[in-house]
């Protein structure tokens, strides 16, 4: 049975409106493939093969039962792969030094009176040390080995969520439903499903794809999951699921001749699967850049050489896996982020150097198959929100040469808006990853601080800096961010994992979920927005308020706006000077700053250490107040910018318009929030945008809400 859904996202070859349901206990289980993952639990040699840990527990009979689950699980796995639906594998085991192994788990059998167990975890068995990472027995059986792009969770406990990144992984991808297979049913499978239920996930166990070592436990374990109308989850079999999924289209590519030149990631991925060559794409990118240069000459500062780009494309063509997340995807890099072999200038000619090593994030993206096209213009040293503070020239709006592009990530945003690349890296310290997105009709994602490495990034405010992502669609922005996201031990501001309190059931947004939202009150909107923006935002609000399951709540907007003021009107400006102190004091290079950059940094000269601590205390006070507000509010929806200045206006007053632009954007950085800017109509041919904001680590929620808002906006002319 196939059911329709109005929201549209993409998972592999399956669109979001292709929802399916299948028979289950206690009633039919309905899934949206784009928000679903298959979780295959602990199908390891140690549990399934003779001589492993499971064999020691149960002997031949027990191993035979769990081995019988391989065949039906493989059939489900193949279906998920063919339909491009997310797959996750788990492996139970411990570090070689066993420091993550609780003593009761280690000794529970060995210390039992008259025990028959002579071996414990970590002892050497026929397949290596039992349940120890890196050993042959710890790995997944040959039939179910993961392929590129499938996530493997190494877990130390029975459940798959304890002391792992699984919850974060699901939240980031907007996954709300799990299909569960694996072993053992009485232990790790049902424990995982209970953990999932506590985290707001729906899960369905496939009974023929799971078993355990005690025959009488299976039916009781599964009955406990689905009793009382699905207290912990659902139970079904593989055949009803396979029949339902067979109605969906298989993931397949379009022929190379069908590619229309779009740089949209989904379009390119489909074309690549159909045989399109990365060489063809690189040539098209360079043609597009050259064709646009006369109209907007200040977008790019340095391009990779044509020979290097073609060599990279040919290398991918010959040796890379076309299922890599970003295979052959062209992207741009803001010129305060290092790319090996290309000059880094931060829009300051005297500062120029050629790094031998790329920034951590660039290396990650290239490993995912992406192709660096070159480096883009910016407000010098990422200080500004306008895009005019560059000695290489002002980068103007893609829609109007008299209007600012927004900054500081000006060139990156315009390169995406002109369709020259699929996505671009910016940085966001005060809104630089969102203001340019709004002015150029694209998406700008500012992720949670520390989730993407800043190693190899020239700092602006080191404690606030984030690498941001520009793309033409929400899906593309998410794809780029997920490929880049990883803890970097060399970055002191990198976060290895979210706090336990930050990810909860409100971190996911089911189709049926109610959620709370707040908008700036009318008096604030009227006093901050230009008349045209005020009128446009009112139209957007009426549509957002019409979304299903949305409850509007009050919010402490005065504290929020006070946090925005801190970034350019307090001692936080001194952090910019501190970040550049080594550069500015260098005797080897005499640095001449852009006059406006110099003027901004000069503001710090009158500030004392007392001022700095006072403003740090104030930022903490505001952060605490806003954290409490988010206890009742899931998201904020704001205009991304209050107006769209002309280049002439900024030339006449270089400071004033810049300060105004950050009124709704800059607080996101000070308060450690996450945000995404999306297009929301046009005003006399110029783009207008809104931002969706939430607490740290809630990217999954803001991206889902952004999808829902865009789906609703599509039906109205704004």
- The ranges assigned to domains in the chain are 2-245, 257-489+508-680+690-713
d(CA 170, CA 284): 35
d(CA 421, CA 300): 12
The 8-class DSSP code of residue 254 comes to: P
pLDDT given at position 503: 82
Residue whose tokens read 């290097």: 308
pLDDT in the model for residue 508: 83
Q: How far is residue 425's CA from residue 444's CA, in Å, rounded to a whole number?
A: 10
Cβ proximity of 435 and 382 under 8 Å = no
pLDDT attached to residue 293: 96
Longest dimension (CA), the chain: 88
Q: How many CB atoms sit inside 10 A of residue 52's CB?
A: 23
Answer yes or no: 408 catalytic: yes
pLDDT in tens, 415-443: 999 999 999 999 999 999 999 999 999 99
Q: Residue 555 is encoded by which pair of tokens? A: 């919010």
Q: Residue 254: exposed, middle, or buried by beta-carbon count in 10 A (0-12, 13-18, 19+)? A: middle
Q: Which two tokens stand for residue 638?
A: 């704001």
Tokens representing residue 331 in the block: 């992207």
Cα 315 to Cα 264, 363, 556, distances in angstroms = 22, 16, 54
Taking a C-beta distance cutoff of 8 angstroms, is the pair 120, 182 a contact?
A: no
How far apart CA 45 and CA 51 sit, in angstroms, is 9
Q: Strands 2-4 and 18-22, how do they pair?
A: antiparallel
Q: How many CA atoms lie within 13 A of 299 on its CB side?
A: 30
What is the per-residue pLDDT for 106?
A: 86
Which secondary-structure segment (H or E) carries 286? helix 278-292
Tracing tokens 């480096």 back to the chain, one arrives at 375
- pLDDT at residue 1, as a whole number: 28
Pairwise CA distance, residues 41 & 92, whole Å: 9
What stretch of H or E contains 713? helix 699-713
Burial of 490 (0-12, 13-18, 19+ CB in 10 A): exposed
Among the listed residues 280, 367, 358, the one whose alpha carbon sits nearest the alpha carbon of residue 317: 280
Distance, in Å, from the CA atom of 131 to the CA atom of 113, rounded to the nearest integer, reads 23
Alpha-helical regions (H) of 131-248: 166-172, 190-198, 217-230, 238-245
Outline where 463-587 has alpha helix (H): 474-484, 522-528, 531-544, 557-569, 572-584
pLDDT at 128: 96
- In the annotation, is 432 catalytic? yes
Which CATH superfamily hosts domain 2-245?
Isochorismatase-like (3.40.50.850)
Phi, psi of 395 (to 5 degrees): -90, 115
SS3 149: coil
SS (H, E, C) 156-178: CCCCCCCCCCHHHHHHHCCCCEE
Q: How far apart are CA 440 and CA 413, in angstroms?
A: 7
Residues 6 or more apart from 147 whose CB is under 8 A from it?
Answer: 81, 323
Task: Tell me how far the alpha carbon of residue 295 is from its chain's centroid.
Answer: 33
- Measured CA to CA, the distance from residue 680 to residue 18 in angstroms comes to 26
Annotated catalytic residue: which of 65, 288, 334, 364? 334
Indicate the fold that domain 257-489+508-680+690-713 takes in CATH. Answer: Amidase signature (AS) enzymes (3.90.1300)
Report d(CA 525, CA 534) in Å as an integer.
7
Distances (CA, A) of 177 to 39, 405, 510, 570: 10, 40, 9, 46
pLDDT at 587: 56
Which of the following is catalytic: 432, 438, 453, 564?
A: 432
Q: Find tokens 């192994």 and name the residue.
A: 101
List pLDDT tens digits, range 702-715.
Answer: 999 999 999 999 87
DSSP string, 588-645: SS-----HHHHHHHHGGGG--HHHHHHHHHHHHHHHHHHHHHTTT-SEEEEES-S---
Q: In this predicted structure, what is the pLDDT of residue 618?
A: 95
Q: Structure pTM?
A: 0.93
Q: How far apart are CA 523 and CA 289, in angstroms?
A: 44
Sheet holding 2-4, edge to edge: 2-4, 18-22, 29-31
Gap between the Cα atoms of 518 and 536, Å rounded: 17
Backbone angles phi, psi at 497, to 5 degrees: -165, 155
Residue spans of alpha helices (H) in 385-446:
410-417, 435-439
Which residue positions in the chain have pLDDT lower than 70? Answer: 1-17, 116, 252-255, 500, 586-589, 717-718
Which regions of 417-532 does DSSP assign to beta strands (E)?
423-428, 443-446, 466-471, 515-518
Compute how many other C-beta atoms are within 10 angstroms of the C-beta atom of residue 531.
9
Please check whether residue 376 is in contact with residue 425, taking contact to mean a CB–CB distance below 8 angstroms: no
- Rounded-to-integer distance, Cα 500 and Cα 504, Å: 8
Residue of 238, 408, 438, 479 marked catalytic: 408
């Amino acid at each position: 049975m196939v059911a329709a859904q109005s929201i549209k996202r993409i998972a592999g070859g399956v669109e979001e409106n292709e929802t399916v349901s299948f028979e289950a206990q206690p009633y039919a289980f309905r899934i949206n493939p784009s928000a679903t993952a298959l979780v295959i639990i602990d199908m390891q040699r140690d549990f399934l093969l003779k001589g492993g840990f499971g064999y020691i527990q149960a002997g031949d009979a027990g191993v035979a039962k769990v081995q019988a689950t391989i065949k039906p699980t493989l059939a489900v796995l193949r279906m998920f792969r063919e339909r491009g639906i997310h797959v996750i594998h788990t492996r139970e085991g411990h570090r070689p030094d066993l420091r993550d192994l609780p003593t009761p788990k280690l000794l529970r059998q060995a210390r039992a009176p008259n025990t028959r167990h002579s071996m414990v975890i970590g002892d050497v068995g026929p397949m290596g040390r039992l349940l120890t990472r890196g050993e042959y027995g710890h790995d997944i059986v040959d039939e179910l080995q993961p392929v590129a792009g499938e996530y493997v969770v190494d877990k130390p406990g029975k459940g798959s969520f304890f002391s792992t990144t699984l919850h974060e992984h699901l939240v980031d991808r907007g996954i709300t439903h799990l299909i569960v297979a694996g072993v053992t049913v009485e232990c790790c499978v049902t424990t995982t499903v209970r953990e999932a239920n506590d985290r707001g996930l729906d899960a369905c166990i496939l009974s023929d794809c799971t078993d355990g070592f005690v025959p009488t436990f299976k039916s009781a374990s599964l009955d406990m999951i689905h009793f009382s109308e699905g207290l912990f989850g659902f139970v079904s079999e593989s055949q009803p699921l396979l029949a339902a999924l067979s109605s969906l289209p298989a993931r397949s590519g379009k022929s190379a001749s069908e590619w229309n030149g779009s740089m949209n990631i989904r379009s390119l991925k489909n074309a690549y699967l159909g045989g399109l060559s990365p060489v063809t794409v690189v040539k098209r990118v360079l043609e597009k850049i050259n064709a646009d240069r006369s109209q907007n000459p200040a977008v790019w500062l340095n391009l990779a050489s044509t020979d290097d780009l073609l060599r990279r494309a040919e290398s991918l063509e010959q040796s890379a896996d076309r299922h890599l997340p970003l295979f052959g995807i062209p992207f741009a890099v803001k010129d305060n982020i290092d790319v090996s072999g290309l000059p880094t200038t931060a829009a300051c000619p005297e500062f120029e150097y050629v790094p031998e090593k790329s920034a951590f994030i660039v290396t990650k993206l290239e490993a995912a198959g992406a192709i660096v096209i070159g480096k883009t213009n910016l407000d010098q040293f990422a200080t500004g929100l306008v895009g005019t503070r560059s000695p290489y020239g002002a980068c103007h709006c893609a829609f109007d040469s008299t209007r600012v592009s927004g900054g500081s990530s000006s060139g990156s945003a315009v390169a995406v808006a002109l369709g020259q690349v699929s996505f671009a890296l910016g940085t966001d310290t005060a809104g630089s990853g969102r203001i340019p997105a709004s002015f150029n009709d694209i998406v700008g994602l500012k992720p949670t601080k520390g989730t993407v490495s800043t190693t190899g990034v020239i700092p602006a405010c080191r404690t606030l800096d984030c690498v941001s992502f520009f793309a033409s669609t929400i899906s593309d922005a998410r794809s780029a961010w997920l490929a880049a996201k990883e803890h970097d031990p060399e970055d002191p501001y990198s976060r290895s994992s979210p706090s336990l309190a930050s990810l909860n059931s409100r971190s996911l947004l089911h189709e049926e979920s109610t959620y709370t939202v707040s908008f700036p009150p009318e008096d604030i909107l009227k006093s901050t927005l230009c008349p045209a923006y005020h009128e446009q935002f009112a139209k957007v609000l009426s549509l957002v308020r019409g979304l299903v399951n949305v409850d509007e709540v009050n919010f402490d907007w005065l504290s929020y706006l006070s946090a925005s003021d801190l970034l350019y009107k307090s001692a936080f400006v001194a952090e910019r000077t501190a970040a550049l102190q080594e550069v500015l004091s260098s005797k080897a290079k005499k640095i001449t700053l852009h006059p406006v950059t110099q003027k901004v940094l000069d503001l710090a000269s009158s500030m004392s250490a007392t001022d700095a601590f006072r403003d740090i205390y104030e930022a903490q006070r505001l952060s605490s107040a806003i954290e409490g507000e988010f206890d009742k509010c899931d998201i904020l929806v704001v205009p991304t910018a209050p107006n769209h200045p002309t280049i002439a206006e900024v030339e006449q007053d270089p400071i004033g318009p810049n300060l105004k632009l950050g009124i709704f954007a800059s607080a996101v950085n000070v308060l450690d929030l996450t945000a995404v800017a999306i297009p929301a109509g046009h005003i006399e041919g110029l783009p207008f945008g809104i931002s969706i904001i939430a607490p740290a680590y809630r990217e999954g929620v803001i991206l889902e809400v952004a999808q829902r808002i865009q789906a609703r906006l599509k039906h109205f002319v704004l």
